[in-house]
Structure 1
Amino acid sequence: MNGHRGTGALKNRRSQLGGRLQRALEWCGWESRSMLAHIKAGRSLTNYGQYHLTRSQFVVAAVAGALLIYGAVYLFYHSIFLSFMLASLGIAAPRYRRRSLLQQRKERLKLQFKEALFSLTSSLAAGRSLENAFLSTLDDLKLLYPDPRTELLIEFQIVHFRLENAEPLEYALRNFADRAGIDEITQFVDALAACKRSGGDLLEVMKRTSVIISEKLGTEQEIAVMVAQKRFEGRIMMAVPFFFLAFLGLAAPDYMAPLYGGVGYLLLTAALLLLILCFWTMAKIMSIQM
């Protein structure tokens, strides 16, 4: 009897440990097999507020993060054991890689939507109805983006399919806007729905809305270019101390020897923590929400 209880308790502990490990991996960006199979089967429409890493993306990001941490720690402490131990923190790198890929996908979607608005405005100005203008825009997108995996091309094909099934255009666009989570797309859909409800001049409202949103997206892109330049400069500034430390370690090892013992480790630790604080501060400054 006691043996059965002991076995049950052991299984329960293993189950709890496995659950905690699974949650920790999911926090780092690891996706379960069922989730990957669900995505691969294409059973649901894309939610642009989430990004799911493939197994290869997760492994590459984790290995790159581990190597980066290993190299940085070894430069400061010249300890293989400590470097290997802290390199295990690289398992968290896929979480930040996933966030970066998510932001890149949203920026691509914004740029593609801007191009679609230009085409839509031209079609409306030519006298086409709103539905026909969207179908014409789909043809233009196919010329602009030959890759069938282009995000907005897929979304407009979904809109086209829903129109063929007699679904109102504003409902199809609302679904897209809810999944995209982008203010410009939501504003466009809101303007379209309000205009149809109020019976206003649909052509004029859509033309004005398209122009205003296009100008806003253009301004955001100019800001993004300037921020990207400063972000690149910040990364170079953060890399310089590590290159400088490596250069001194190779060129003048006797000069650097006092740092690798006693009080020297405290100075190196303080310098490393200060660099991490500077990197975090620069990342916060550069994370401009647009």
Structure 2
Amino acid sequence: MRVHPIRGLLYWCGWENQVQAPTAKAATARQTTLPDYRHYKLTHGQFVIAALAGALALFGAVYLFYHSVIIAAMFSFAGVIAPRYWRAGLLQQRKDRLKLQFKEALFSLVSSLAAGRSIENAFVSTLDDLRLLYPDPRTELLIEFQIISNRLDHAEPLEQALRSFAERAGIDEITQFADALAACKRSGGDLIEVMKRTSAIIGEKLETEQEIAVMVAQKRFEGKIMMAVPFVFLGFLSFAAPDYMAPLYSGLGYLLLTAALGLLLFCFWIMNKMMDIRM
């Protein structure tokens, strides 16, 4: 399906609510009534706020380097890509919440299995426990377990309902749990014991991921401060000692400033790559 270049650019930047997706797969995802956690749609307000914030940040940063309103205004148009990165951040936050909620659900599920309940009844019992942990009815996993419970009431196999959730979640731990349940039911093994062991392993993995995330969060904050310091220092010198900075805004000074800005952007990219830890 052909898409107009401008519409395709807007879609790439995050303007999904107004631009038709350029792929048939994304169009099909829109038609389903069930939540799809692999995608995140920004509202009109979120898109505009992110684009304006990105434009203002770029304008301020470039102006500090070049002291030229025209150059800063030209670069500020690149702020339109800010919604794309904000959307990616919101999507990752939602997946992290879903992982944390799934870990809590696994603890409840193991307790129910240890009490002698069947795997189907254990899922229904876990839904009641989740309601106590998360009073907000909009909680992602609470909605999904309610969907699974409704499907069980309509005599749909548990592994099929769980597989649907795993496909829409796009999270490895949930997919692994669904695969283990389906394989155990096909092979006729000790379902309860396998589910207990699988839940324990996945729970330990999620705990390890959370510990790593806590350690990395501090370094991410330190990296943001380190990236902000050169701009603050440059702004301070431009205000306190304009004569000292004047040679940078003529002739070869612009080349030095451009090289410094490029080096800062490269360092920012390197830091993000170093902090992007996935298990």
Give the secondary-structure state (helix, strand or coil) at the position aligned to 1:52: coil
Detail structure 1 runs of 4+ shifted over 3 Å in the superposition.
Answer: 32-36
User: For residues 111 and 33 of structure 1, what CA distance do their matches in structure 2 show?
Assistant: 32
Where does residue 276 of structure 2 map in the other structure?
Answer: 287
Q: Would you say 1:159 and 2:148 are equivalent positions?
A: yes
User: For residues 116 and 35 of structure 1, what CA distance do their matches in structure 2 show?
Assistant: 36
For 1:254, which of 230, 234, 243 is the aligned residue?
243
**How far off its partner does 1:153 sit?**
0.7
Show the 5 A alignment for 1:55-134. 55-134=44-123
Per the alignment, do residues 153 and 32 of structure 1 end up closer, same or farther by CA in structure 2, a change over 3 Å counting? same
Identity of aligned residues (%): 71
User: For residues 182 and 12 of structure 2, what CA distance do their matches in structure 1 show?
Assistant: 38
Describe the superposition over 1:78-123 as per-residue Cα deviations: whole angstroms up to 9, x where unpaired. Answer: 1111111110000011111111111111111111000000000111
**How far off its partner does 1:42 sit?**
8.5
**How far off its partner does 1:32 sit?**
3.7
User: For residues 32 and 62 of structure 1, what CA distance do their matches in structure 2 show?
Assistant: 15
**How far off its partner does 1:143 sit?**
1.1
Residues 10 and 19, structure 2, Cα contact 8 Å, conserved in 1: no
For 1:31, which of 1, 16, 19 is the aligned residue?
16
**How far off its partner does 1:34 sit?**
7.7
Per the alignment, do residues 130 and 35 of structure 1 end up closer, same or farther by CA in structure 2, a change over 3 Å counting? farther
User: For residues 132 and 18 of structure 2, what CA distance do their matches in structure 1 show?
Assistant: 36
Q: Would you say 1:269 and 2:258 are equivalent positions?
A: yes
User: For residues 160 and 75 of structure 1, what CA distance do their matches in structure 2 show?
Assistant: 57
Describe the superposition over 1:161-186 as per-residue Cα deviations: whole angstroms up to 9, x where unpaired. Answer: 11111101110000101111111111
Residues 62 and 71, structure 2, Cα contact 8 Å, conserved in 1: yes
Where does residue 22 of structure 1 map in the other structure?
Answer: 7
Give the secondary-structure state (helix, strand or coil) at the position aligned to 1:25: helix
Where does residue 221 of structure 1 map in the other structure?
Answer: 210
**How far off its partner does 1:46 sit?**
1.7
Residues 47 and 83, structure 2, Cα contact 8 Å, conserved in 1: yes
Amino acid at match of 1:24: L
Query: Structure 1 stretches of 5 or more lacking a match?
Result: 1-15
Q: Would you say 1:184 and 2:169 are equivalent positions?
A: no
For 1:46, which of 35, 38, 62 is the aligned residue?
35
Give the secondary-structure state (helix, strand or coil) at the position aligned to 1:289: coil
Query: Structure 2 stretches of 5 or more lacking a match?
Result: 22-26
TM-score relative to the length of structure 2: 0.93
Residues 105 and 130, structure 2, Cα contact 8 Å, conserved in 1: yes
Where does residue 238 of structure 1 map in the other structure?
Answer: 227
User: For residues 243 and 249 of structure 2, what CA distance do their matches in structure 1 show?
Assistant: 11
User: For residues 161 and 204 of structure 1, what CA distance do their matches in structure 2 show?
Assistant: 25
Per the alignment, do residues 42 and 155 of structure 1 end up closer, same or farther by CA in structure 2, a change over 3 Å counting? farther
Describe the superposition over 1:57-78 as per-residue Cα deviations: whole angstroms up to 9, x where unpaired. Answer: 1111101100110010000011
Per the alignment, do residues 35 and 146 of structure 1 end up closer, same or farther by CA in structure 2, a change over 3 Å counting? farther
**How far off its partner does 1:33 sit?**
3.7
Per the alignment, do residues 224 and 84 of structure 1 end up closer, same or farther by CA in structure 2, a change over 3 Å counting? same
